[in-house]
Amino acid sequence: MLVDLRARLERARWPSDAPGAAWEQGTDLVWLRNLCAYWMSEFDWRSRERRLNSYPQFLAEVDGAIVHFVHLERGGTPLILTHGWPSSFLEYLPLAKRLETFDLVIPSLPGYGFSERPAVSTTRDVARRWHALMQGLGYQQYGACGTDFGAAVTTYMALDDPARMLGIHLSNLDNAPTPTSPLTDAESAYLASVTDWDTRERGYSSIQSTRPQTLGYGLTDSPAALAAWILEKWRLWADTGGELGARFDRDDLLTLVTLYWVTSTIGTSIRDYFDNRSYATAILPPDARVLVPTGIANFHHSYVHEGIVPREWAERMYNVTRFADMPSGGHFAPAEEPDLLAAEIAMFFS
């Protein structure tokens, strides 16, 4: 697999030019060629492999599908931590040493990395599977944390089986409420920002929500295309100031992309967009409200700004008992600001 990866990188076909300013029309050509040259000749996957294998990892059949997860047993409060797209279980590993008083379960979403994807898998389906996983591990009550699709999974865990939940903690909101009362000024400003963001940035979601299989062929066949597709999002959605290297280690980013590559799971991961659109799980119905105590760490410093979620917007959906505006960090908070996020999680569950 690694020999084939290097050969494909060496044979990569590049666009004939890069019009406009750097990054203006997508991933910058010069940056990507330099990254792929490093990936081909200097990136040490075996070293990364040994580091990942220092974590206790398992495969379990849960409701007919294989789930991959890290399980750290410390005799503390059990928490399940769920990532989103385009990410993986790697995003939450920086929290492992920072949450040493908790039992941690860090699964890979269905169709990501080493987890199988059923024919259909919505965030609500995953929530049911995660309940089965936690109970199969012997936990009768537990907390849950999530970001991106993981925030939606965590929300449905609380909606569908609240008696099992000690509390939930979110580092962004993936579900939206159906407003049943007039909006505040802060809510109106937030929704205007979201609408503007959607106009400028939502193209990736449109194609992944409608034709994920067509997109998946190219991303599965070309490592350069895969890196361009994933890492553009990490640059835009994180608190990078436009410079990925200012926020993330290059080897960490390539570990993520290599994980997608060697497991051939970019195509199955982007089906999340198709399935959740098809089953309308992103918008909660008017009567849906999470009564489980909810903590929210409001990381709103993405390079391409999506708006600042007001507390009252979150309170339309959740029983918010802790809401913290974070001083830095964006969409990938567990990887960007693990100290800040771990402290918030520990404070909330205490």
The answer to whether residue 6 sits within a structural domain is no
Of 160, 92, 90, nearest to 123 by C-alpha is: 160
- Whether 19 is in a domain gets the answer no
**Domain boundaries, position 233:** 27-350
pLDDT (0 to 100) of residue 91: 98
Q: Does residue 5 form part of some domain?
A: no
CATH code of 262's domain: 3.40.50.1820
Counting the structural domains of the chain, the total is 1
- What's the confidence (pLDDT) of residue 216? 98
Name residues whose C-beta falls within 8 Å of residue 300's C-beta, 6 or more positions apart in sequence: 306, 307, 308, 309, 325, 326, 330
* pLDDT of 285 higher than 90: no
In a domain, 302, yes or no: yes
pLDDT at 210 > cutoff 90 = yes
Token digits of residue 75: 């005799």
Per-residue pLDDT at 180: 84
**Averaged pLDDT, 47-67:** 97
For residue 14, tell me if it sits in a domain: no
**Is residue 200 included in any domain, yes or no?**
yes
- Answer yes or no: is 281 within a domain: yes
With beta carbons less than 8 A apart as the criterion, state whether 171 and 151 touch. Answer: yes
How many CA atoms does the CB half-sphere of 242 hold within 13 Å?
6
Instruction: Note the pLDDT of residue 11.
Output: 97
Confidence (pLDDT) at 253: 98
Q: Which of 1-5, 14-18, 86-90, 103-107 has the lowest mean pLDDT?
A: 14-18
Give the pairing type, strands 290-298 and 165-170: parallel
For every residue of 183-245, DSSP letters joined together read: PPHHHHHHHHHHHHHHHHHTHHHHHHHH-HHHHHHHHHH-HHHHHHHHHHHHHHHSS-TT-HH
Mean pLDDT of 93-98: 98
**130-148 confidence digits (pLDDT tens):** 999 999 999 999 999 999 9
Percentage of the chain exceeding pLDDT 70: 100
pLDDT, position 122: 98
Tokens 């997860």 -> residue: 69
Q: Kindly list the strands in the beta sheet with 102-107, ordered across the sheet, starting from the edge strand earlier in the chain.
A: 57-62, 65-72, 102-107, 77-82, 142-146, 165-170, 290-298, 318-325
Is residue 272 predicted with pLDDT exceeding 90?
A: yes
Question: pLDDT category, 287, cuts 50, 70, 90?
Answer: confident
Q: What is the pLDDT of residue 18?
A: 86
Give the residue-averaged pLDDT of 220-241.
98
Give the model confidence (pLDDT) of 160-171 as tens digits: 999 999 999 999
- Could you tell me which residues come within 8 angstroms of residue 247 by beta carbon, excluding any fewer than 6 positions away? 238, 239, 240, 241, 336
The model's confidence at residue 248, banded by pLDDT at 50, 70 and 90, is: very high
0.85 cut: is pTM over it? yes
Q: Which residues contact 292 (CB under 8 A, 6 or more apart)?
A: 158, 162, 165, 167, 168, 319
| Domain contains 8 | no
